[in-house]
Structure 1
Amino acid sequence: MASADQDPTATADRILDRARVFAVVGASPSTWRPSHGVMQVLLGHGYEVVPIRPGVEEVLGRRAYPDLASVPEEVTIDVVDIFRRSDRAGRHVDEAIALGVPAVWLQLGVIDHDAAERARAAGLDVVMDRCPAIELDRRRRRGG
């Protein structure tokens, strides 16, 4: 649920505390891509990941889907983590809103204020221009 506060650290912590399943839009099977490394970190911290990438069958041993709407209904997505250019992020945010996903996370360098406001207005928690792997490391270093 979206918070009236706009404290990105508090929002990131809330999402990381509540989430179990991250759908990673722009997931890559290439080990040198940032999305691949972040998925590995998420898995290492006990989260499940659902790769979203057209034309790819599998990433890190998990079945990939061409879009969020193709993920089976029995899979409950808690966060949509977006690894797309800023000018392409909005449609994925809108898809998350339509599917009732509780949170969207726009990666480092992915900034779309209009999409973030639409998501907040729809009741979603939003983190923008941050990385969950970095946030998890920050929490580890502070003992959280």
Structure 2
Amino acid sequence: MEVPNLSDIFSNARCIAIIGCSANKYRASYHIASYLKENGYRIIPVNPNYEEVLGEQCYPSVADIPDKYPVDIVDIFRDSRYTAEMVQQIIDWSSRTDQKPVIWTQLDVSSEEAETLAEEAGFPYIKNECMMVQHERLM
């Protein structure tokens, strides 16, 4: 599959779901979610440990995100051993909602299995890139 153009992804995105988003302000996921929100993106935190992150309702899983939200990117902050499971959840959610967001894996989060799952299901897949660094560099 062709590598997606990151500038186009950022320019066209409005809503970013963040799997593993933390309410702990010292965690990278909190810092990056805050940065994305400050830069005009709607963020949807996904973490079963919180009810709210950065003033936004937090959902236990991707499957719990209401269908009314068009999600352009799903950013994954989980250990790489869970990434394939997260990608499968995104694929399952997508089949219910008819959405096909970009799947973005943060640094050291991607796995071969996750990448294969995403590509076989036709999802754009960004691997092992910091979304904030790339956004700052390109935008």
> TM-score if structure 2 supplies the norm length?
0.90
Residue 19 of structure 1 aligns with an amino acid whose one-letter code is A
C-alpha contact 1:89 1:112 (8 A) present in aligned 2 = yes
C-alpha contact 2:84 2:117 (8 A) present in aligned 1 = no
SS in structure 1 of the partner of residue 136 of structure 2? helix
Tell me, yes or no, if structure 1 residue 33 matches structure 2 residue 50: no
Tell me, yes or no, if structure 1 residue 123 matches structure 2 residue 105: no
Q: Which residue of 2 aligns with 1:62?
A: 56
Which stretches of structure 1, 4 residues or longer, exceed 3 Å deviation after superposition?
Answer: none
Unaligned stretches of 5+ residues in structure 1? none
Residue 29 of structure 1 aligns with an amino acid whose one-letter code is A
CA positional deviation for 1:13: 2.6
CA positional deviation for 1:43: 0.9
C-alpha contact 1:105 1:128 (8 A) present in aligned 2 = yes
Q: Which residue of 2 aligns with 1:20?
A: 14
Tell me, yes or no, if structure 1 residue 96 matches structure 2 residue 93: no
| Structure-1 separation of matches of 2:101 and 2:17 | 12
CA positional deviation for 1:18: 2.0
SS in structure 2 of the partner of residue 23 of structure 1? strand
Tell me, yes or no, if structure 1 residue 87 matches structure 2 residue 84: no
Aligned length: 134
C-alpha contact 1:11 1:126 (8 A) present in aligned 2 = no
Q: Cα–Cα, structure 1 residues 112 and 11, in superposed 2: closer, same or farther, change >3 Å?
A: farther
| Structure-2 separation of matches of 1:14 and 1:126 | 14
Q: Which residue of 1 aligns with 2:2?
A: 5
C-alpha contact 1:52 1:68 (8 A) present in aligned 2 = yes
Structure 1 vs Structure 2 CA RMSD: 1.3
> TM-score if structure 1 supplies the norm length?
0.87
Identity of aligned residues (%): 31
CA positional deviation for 1:25: 0.5
Deviations 1:51-75 (CA, angstroms, capped at 9, x unpaired): 0000211000000010011111111
Match of 2:71 among 60, 71, 77: 77
